[in-house]
Amino acid sequence: MPKQIVIAEQHRIAAVFQGDQIQELIVATGTHQVGDIYVGTVENVLPGIDAAFVNIGDSERNGFMHVTDLGPLRLKRAAGSITELVAPQQKVLVQIMKEPTGNKGPRLTGNVTLPGRYLVLMPYGKGVILSRRIQNEQERNRLRALAILLKPPGMGLLIRTEAEDVPEEAIIEDLESLQKQWETVQQEAVTRRPPELLNRDDDFIQRVLRDVYSGDVNRIVTDSHTGLKRVKQHLMNWNAGRLPSGVLIANHRDRVPLLEFFRVNAAIREAIQPRVDLPSGGYIIIEPTEALIVIDVNSGSFTRSATARETVLWTNCEAAEEIARQLRLRNVAGVIIVDFIDMDARRDQLQVLETFNRALRSDKSRPQISQLSELGLVELTRKRQGQNLYELFGRPCPTCSGLGHLVHLPGESATVDVPATESGRESASFGNRAHPSLKENLSEDLEPHSDLQELDLLNHPNYQESKGGRGNRRRRRRDAPPLSRSNGRNGDNARTAPTPTPTPAPVPDPVP
């Protein structure tokens, strides 16, 4: 299915759509970003945790560097304790591997790499690495041979999936620009005084296109005329001077801002909430905790299938696909536990796992299903890349501190913990102003219409659990423009497009 890319450069947010659903968000805000290269100073070395803390210019948080990430910064070759490998006040060239979270500083590495459109230059790496996603054996051979010829001595080269079927000239040009970039970084590393930022992907448009543009993109929308020109320029540079055919590039000139028009902000707001409705009436609840992400699948008020077994299988398959999309959209990482609805038949379990595996395959962060536990829980892990949506756009609710419950003790006034500033949204019932915080964070304000109170309550997981189906009211919003809805798959071109007909459920045939 063709993809569209919407780039709001002004806000440094881009969204990748497939049909009318957002598949992925690219957000580049914050002072430290993955890939930034700094010259810094080692502040202290802690043998207890095998790590060093490096000052890269943030007075409150030093960068964290584990002994395994020192790379070329090691002062001697032999293995040893970190106190022998780096020294306080040592000047170091480092790159951010993970953005800071909470009060943790960014995680750093000495193994600096420079990503291009088709290649990643690894100045301290070795050999040639080919993306596993390039599968054609002949093409793998061509790229490997080319990379061996081109590879600068003493460095490593990674061939990205994007290099598949790309002419040599374009790949050579990409490498030359990366080498130039590396030379500049090296010169500056010598002359500049730490701490200082030396290199950053500051062309947001270039970064977005580099990371998500592919042959199946048929439309790119920018928020400025210069942005549009730069999109064209980059695409031409990567395509031997010509614009690729079949892609429409446009500058959004509507009075309604880009992120509103394409409902990106609305999608972000929804993706911070625990509940996601499935097309056929089931729903999932996604709960991030300190240690892991817990996802619960519920059948809701689904009644269209003939037998309970088919209902469960169908809901679980829908959930599997939606969970794969939500993991990418929310960009959550670490250990993820999914509690699918119980299924007795092995064959059904297999089918759900197959569906899940297939849906996870398009995720660049390579989620891996690690096991199906005895209790029927599916465990998987997903690699961390950048900050998740909660870190980027969420703030803990000051009223309940993220608990999802307001304390209502006997003898106390029901509204005692409601901020006074929230006037004008009157209601007599308790708890309806629970989550003012999430909304302030996004530019799109909710209109003060009658659904507001319910929406507020819907942020609370316990409400959703207890009221069950009532929350479904949110599910079908028919007023959105095309290329817009993040959740409802009820558009004409919806993938599975289940319609409420009395025909037997389209549960795929079991394997004979």
CB of 465 to Zn ion, least distance (A): 15
CB of 428 to Zn ion, least distance (A): 19
Residue 166 near Zn ion by CB under 5 A: no
- State how far the Cα of 268 lies from the Cα of 263, in Å rounded to an integer: 9
Our CB check for Zn ion shows the closer of 245 and 421 to be 421
Burial class (CB in 10 A: 0-12, 13-18, 19+), 439: middle
Helices (H), 298-345: 308-330
Residues 6+ apart with CB under 8 A from 58: 31, 32, 100, 105
CB of 425 to Zn ion, least distance (A): 15
Segment interacting with Zn ion, rule: CB under 5 A, options 149-157, 289-297, 339-347, 390-398: 390-398
Nearest partner of 274 among 289, 291, 290, judged by Cα:
289
Segment interacting with Zn ion, rule: CB under 5 A, options 245-253, 286-294, 391-399, 440-448: 391-399
Our CB check for Zn ion shows the closer of 105 and 288 to be 288
Residues 6+ apart with CB under 8 A from 440: none
In degrees and rounded to multiples of 5, residue 499 shows phi and psi of -115, 150
Residue from 37, 94, 400, 418 touching Zn ion (CB under 5 A): that is 400
- State how far the Cα of 323 lies from the Cα of 342, in Å rounded to an integer: 17
Among residue numbers 407 through 446, which ones bind Zn ion (CB under 5 A)?
434-435
Nearest 5°: CA angle at 162, between 156 and 163? Answer: 60
Determine if the peptide bond prior to 195 is cis (ω within 30°): yes
- Strand boundaries in 47-89, DSSP class E: 51-55, 63-66
Residue from 42, 320, 397, 457 touching Zn ion (CB under 5 A): that is 397
Residues 6+ apart with CB under 8 A from 53: 42, 43, 44, 45, 46, 62, 63, 64, 65, 105
Segment interacting with Zn ion, rule: CB under 5 A, options 198-206, 334-342, 398-406, 409-417: 398-406
CB of 440 to Zn ion, least distance (A): 13
Our CB check for Zn ion shows the closer of 400 and 418 to be 400
Segment interacting with Zn ion, rule: CB under 5 A, options 46-54, 328-336, 372-380, 389-397: 389-397
Our CB check for Zn ion shows the closer of 320 and 406 to be 406
Our CB check for Zn ion shows the closer of 139 and 417 to be 417
Q: How many residues sit in the footprint of Zn ion (CB under 5 A)?
A: 5
Q: Which residues bind Zn ion (CB under 5 A)?
A: 397, 399-400, 434-435
